[in-house]
Each structure stands twice: as C-alpha cells, then as structure tokens.
Amino acid sequence: MRIGMRHFVLSSRRFALCGALFVILSGWAIPARAQGIGFQGGATIDPNQFYVGTHFETGELMPGLRFRPGIDGGFSSNLSIASINFEFLYSIPLKSGWALYQGGGPAIVLERVSAGSLHNTSTHAGTFYTFGFAHESGFFTEFKIGAGHSPNLRFGAGYTVRKKKP
C-alpha cells in the first residue's frame, strides 16, 4: 500500500509540474490578436468515454497558424484519463465565416485505473492529429486521431471566446 501511495504522490507532483508548465506556456507574452479561451466536450472510442476540457488559443503566430494548449478529462466506469495537449493548428478560411483546420501535437496522458478500492495511476506520452471546422463566432467541431496512450478517436464540439480585434 505504501508503494502505491508513493507512486500516486510522485504522479501528482508530475501532474502539478505539467500544470504549472501549461500555465506558463499559456501566459506567454503573445499579442492579444484574437486570442481566447474555450471549452469543449464529446466522446472517445477506445477507450469509450465522455470527456470535457478547456483550452487557451493564441492569436495567429503566422498567417493561419495558432497554438492551442489544453487540458481534457475523460471518464468511464473504471478508467479516468487526463491529458495535457500541446497542439498547433493551421486554418484555411471557407465561405460564410467558417474555416477548416488541421494540426496536432504531443500530449502528456495521466491514466487512473480503478478496481474496487484499488487505484493505479500512471503517466504516459501520446500524440494526435486534429481535423475540424470552426466558425468565426467561436463554435467548433473536431475529430482527433490519437497514438500512444491518447484515445484512438475523439469527436467533440466546443466554443472559444476570443478577444475582439482592436
């Protein structure tokens, strides 16, 4: 039991360190050109879960390219997954205020498996490819294909609140 608790404490410290890194990267001195914060939710396949999350979106780093770090939590009966995502997205404008975007990046994945009163927590690396559509109002819908310890397929929708351009 003590070994499991020690592992949990070390995993919690790693998670706190990763969270601090996420906050630092999100607050990086980037001009406020249409940057924003958003929320998303949806479902995953393999493992079958529902997830919710939040993200920070930078303004354009160069035409069409944005950085969107985020954190998601997935839940099912005996498995919980938290992932810290670092994704770069390239956007292609379409008609009527819509844009097609694609990109991806690495992820830090924390898994917690429960069996009765026993819990096992582990940290892994993952990666994913993102494909989606976004409206200039902030609404978006996307598919993510994962590798490593990321969910294999994720479908979600969300909303990004953006700072208005001056």
CATH number at residue 74: 2.40.160.20
Closest C-alpha among 47, 48, 69, 46 to residue 58: 69
Can you give the residue range of the structural domain that contains 131?
2-162
pTM beyond 0.85: the answer is no
- Distance CA(111)–CA(120), nearest Å, equals 8
How confident is the model at residue 11, as a pLDDT?
53
pLDDT of res. 30: 46
Kindly give, in sequence order, each residue whose CB lies less than 8 Å from that of residue 55, ignoring residues fewer than 6 positions away.
37, 38, 39, 40, 68, 69, 70, 71, 85, 158, 160
pLDDT, mean over the chain = 84
Q: pLDDT digits over 80-105, tens only?
A: 999 999 999 999 999 899 999 999 99
Domain count, the chain: 1
Residue 162 CB-half CA count within 13 A = 22
pLDDT in the model for residue 67: 97
Residues of the chain with pLDDT under 50: 1-6, 8-10, 23, 28-32
